[in-house]
Chain A
């Protein structure tokens, strides 16, 4: 199975900060990667698919980039509602695999 490694595991940031989360695949997955946001006690929400395509209804402060093995999720200006845990998910092959998550906390 393809391993997805996110970094950092957690970060502290302030409202208005630019935040970057990275995800590395153990082998090339083209651009077949999505990003999900999860808040405590809630189901995940898709933010990005195909590495850089913004899901309908998701604010434009979220963006994704990358191809092959290295991917990035960027939040251009962190808002109070963005404090959550973020996961990458490869949909290149089976079994699908998630990264271990990055928790974004308030500084």
Chain B
């Protein structure tokens, strides 16, 4: 059974740092791109960042570039999100998700089938 379990959330002051972890089980972690998605309280979903299997490619949403760093440890089946210079508008539940790649009618498409339960990050003084 595929499982993704996030940890590391909590309360942090503005300007502070936090590191989220996502431990994967039930599949070969090193075979998949992985993604972080967040959701502020009562708000919609925001794609945050993703990372290729060998860490050779990483992509970020504009508002976290230079502040957040996505990384992974394939030996530990783990995904990370290092969050620095945190702001109040970073307050959200952070989900990790496994990227599925589908080949359909001659093209490749992505979808997020497996998600973690989410980790709440609260940035407040």
A residues with a Cβ closer than 8 A to B are: 1, 30, 32, 34, 36, 38, 43-44, 46, 49-50, 53, 55, 85, 87, 89, 91, 94-101
B113 touches A55 (CB 8 A): yes
A91 touches B110 (CB 8 A): yes
Across the interface, A1 reaches (CB within 8 A) one of B35, B37, B62, B111, namely B62
**New A-B contacts (14) at CB < 8 Å, excluding given A49-B104, A97-B47:** A1-B61, A34-B109, A34-B111, A43-B95, A43-B118, A44-B37, A46-B113, A49-B102, A50-B109, A55-B111, A85-B44, A96-B47, A98-B44, A101-B45
Q: Which chain B residues in 51-92 approach chain A with CB under 8 Å?
A: 59-62
Question: B115 within 8 Å of A by Cβ?
Answer: yes
**Please, what's the 1-or-0 string for B28-60, where 1 marks a CB less than 8 Å from any CB in chain A?**
000000010100000011110010000000011
* Interchain CA distance A89-B99 in the complex, whole Å: 13
A87 touches B45 (CB 8 A): yes
Question: B60: which A residues are within 8 A, CB to CB?
Answer: 95
Q: How many residues of B contact A (CB 8 A)?
A: 26
Name, among B44, B102, B113, B115, the residue most crowded by chain A CB atoms within 10 Å (CB to CB).
B44
A95 touches B109 (CB 8 A): no
Question: B109: which A residues are within 8 A, CB to CB?
Answer: 32, 34, 49-50, 53, 91
- Report if A43-B111 is in contact (Cβ < 8 Å); known contacts: A53-B104, A98-B46, A101-B45: no
- Report if A36-B61 is in contact (Cβ < 8 Å); known contacts: A49-B111, A53-B102, A91-B110: no
Minimum Cβ distance to chain B for residue A52 (Å) = 10
Name, among A1, A44, A91, A96, the residue most crowded by chain B CB atoms within 10 Å (CB to CB).
A96
Question: B112 within 8 Å of A by Cβ?
Answer: yes
Name, among A53, A87, A89, A95, the residue most crowded by chain B CB atoms within 10 Å (CB to CB).
A95
Question: B46: which A residues are within 8 A, CB to CB?
Answer: 98
Question: A43: which B residues are within 8 A, CB to CB?
Answer: 95, 97, 115-118
Question: A49: which B residues are within 8 A, CB to CB?
Answer: 102, 104, 109-111
